Amino acid sequence: MDFTEHDAPNQLVHILEERGFAVVAMAAPGPPDAILSSLAAALRLGDPYVPALYRYAETKGYSASYADIRSDTKDHHPGFSTTAGQAWHVDGLLDDIGDIKTTILYCVSAAHRGGDTLLFNSLAAFAELREKDPAAAEALLSPRALNRRSTISAIDLNATGPVFSVDEEGDLITRYTDNETCTWNFAAGPPGGLQRALAFFRSASDNPRYRLAIRLTAGEALIFRNDRLAHGRQSYEDKPNARRHLVRALYANVPTMPN
């Protein structure tokens, strides 16, 4: 949708509540920080959230409110500065499940080829699993199910928690991740349940019923619920006149309608 449309913020809130994500074309080019700030203000998201991983001296270089995601051979962040694809994850490796509720990716410029952002409706997949195999679904609720560890070489930190949980409002939330940061505790939950759950999710994440690829163009922003969807990225190829550059901002709040 176009951010200049009448009642755009309210429309976005409705779309995000229904689908968990929205793509919006911003009004005019400008500094990405200012564009993200205006979008966050319209959605009443508050100030950007700095993930726990980036609050340490060893990682302070990544603690900016607005993070540049683009190829940079001088930097060694395992996700931000590489053209490689990214497997399924939620933002907030060390943060408690549900702490980071909203992610915005603003596109400054697109790659020459590839670089689509991938979304996985892990909540819908969980609902199907709970119908088919309740014991496997129960394993994903175990507080010992999934450990995530930092892959930034400068710091050795990790956090263990459930893959799914229920928040204070009674809504299901997720930190489903399946990448190089993960160690799965197959002893958690009913015997054999976590193995079956992981196999189910790996299959479901390739199913078009639950998976979507979004290619942003310059001036577009992807807003999604980080506590409801997992995301990833296709690998990409840059050319001198087509270099992928996204700017990311995270928020502890959900979008709400203006008063």
Question: Please, are residues 173 and 164 in contact by the beta-carbon 8 Å criterion?
Answer: yes
pLDDT value at residue 197: 98
Rounded-to-integer distance, Cα 144 and Cα 163, Å: 9
3-7, 38-42, 224-228 — which is least confidently predicted?
3-7
- With 80 as the cut, is the pLDDT of residue 28 above it? no
pLDDT value at residue 3: 85
pLDDT value at residue 83: 96
Q: What is the DSSP letter of 93?
A: S
The dihedral sign for the CA sequence 223, 226, 228, 234: positive
Percent of the chain whose pLDDT exceeds 90: 92
3-class SS string, 50-90: CCHHHCCHHHHHHCCCCEEEECCCCCCCCCCCCCCCEEEEC
**Mean of pLDDT values over 134-156:** 96
**Mean of pLDDT values over 195-219:** 97
pLDDT category of residue 259 using cuts at 50, 70 and 90: low
pLDDT category of residue 250 using cuts at 50, 70 and 90: very high
Percent of the chain whose pLDDT exceeds 70: 99
pLDDT category of residue 153 using cuts at 50, 70 and 90: confident
Going from the N-terminus, what domains does the chain have, and what CATH number goes with each? 8-251 (3.60.130.10)
**Mean of pLDDT values over 40-65:** 96
pLDDT value at residue 29: 78
How large is the angle between the packed helices 122-132 and 193-204, nearest 10 degrees? 130
User: DSSP 3-state assignment of 159?
Assistant: strand
pLDDT category of residue 4 using cuts at 50, 70 and 90: confident
pLDDT value at residue 2: 85
User: DSSP 3-state assignment of 211?
Assistant: strand
Kindly give, in sequence order, each residue whose CB lies less than 8 Å from that of residue 191, ignoring residues fewer than 6 positions away. Answer: none
- With 90 as the cut, is the pLDDT of residue 247 above it? yes
- With 70 as the cut, is the pLDDT of residue 169 above it? yes
